[in-house]
Amino acid sequence: MLTKYEEKLISINEMMLAIGQKIVKANEVIYDGLKSGDYSKFKDAKESLAGIKDEARTVDKEIVITLALFAPEAKDLKTIISYLKMTNEYLRASSNTKSFLKNFPVKTDGELHFGAIMANIILLQKASLAAIKNAVSMLSKEDQEAKEDLCVKANMEESKADDIYSLIEKDLFVEMLNAKELSQEYFQALSLIRKIEKIADRAACMASLQYDICHNN
């Protein structure tokens, strides 16, 4: 029979999995929208992220209550603090996703030439999506080896996202040189595309936190 503390941890884990799946869903919609060129799909992604901030706060409150009620020590304390850190990563990933959804495509009076780099933007979103999906999936696994495998995959996709972003950055700088009057717009576009890469960064952090948890138990 599970102790009340163990039941609390399971409940918190389920709540966190539900939030993570919302972020995954939003990024799946972004990926589909970029591939099809139909940005009207982004509306569905925005709806997927509705209420995440409140849900994360609810999880944080549950964690604080659990700390107060059970006063876990040593490895148990490290586990629940890792959950607390993860909710912060969720909020950052959600914020980056919302920012991309709100501002893409970049609206300017000039003409931005994205044709040459759109294929890489799609690849960047694909890698970022895979990273966040692997990281969130770790929450649904009990087997340590399965968690470790997903952690490795999440970090590999994050590294891939870094490389693809570097290529996009280089190509956009070339475009800036060819259209100096649009340099500000290109910088804005680059900053926006960076949001996708940051989602992959957040996924790697989530995966690492969960890796620490499973090696702490």
**pLDDT (0 to 100) of residue 111:** 58
Average pLDDT, the chain: 88
What is the gyration radius of the CA atoms in the chain, in angstroms? 19
Q: How far is CA 142 from the centre of its chain?
A: 22
Comparison of pLDDT for 54 and 116, the residue scoring more: 54
pTM: 0.91
Comparison of pLDDT for 209 and 77, the residue scoring more: 209
CATH number, domain of 144, equals 1.20.58.220
**pLDDT, tens digit, 9 for 90 and up, residues 62-99:** 999 988 888 777 677 888 888 889 999 999 999 999 99
**pLDDT (0 to 100) of residue 61:** 94
**pLDDT (0 to 100) of residue 108:** 46
Decide: 17 and 139 in contact? Cβ < 8 Å: yes
Comparison of pLDDT for 156 and 75, the residue scoring more: 156
**pLDDT (0 to 100) of residue 133:** 97
> Any idea which residue has 């500000």 for tokens?
184
**Confidence tier at 147 by pLDDT (50, 70, 90):** very high
For the chain, how many residues are written?
Answer: 217
**pLDDT, tens digit, 9 for 90 and up, residues 121-146:** 999 999 999 999 999 999 999 888 99
- What is the rounded average pLDDT of the residues 155-160? 97
- What is the rounded average pLDDT of the residues 182-205? 89
- The whole domain housing 127 covers 4-216
Comparison of pLDDT for 162 and 83, the residue scoring more: 162
Other beta carbons within 10 Å of 123? 18
Running DSSP on this structure, what letter comes out for residue 105? S
Taking Cα atoms as reference points, which of 76, 62, 72, 64 lies closest to residue 16?
A: 62
Comparison of pLDDT for 56 and 74, the residue scoring more: 56
- Please state the domain count of the chain: 1
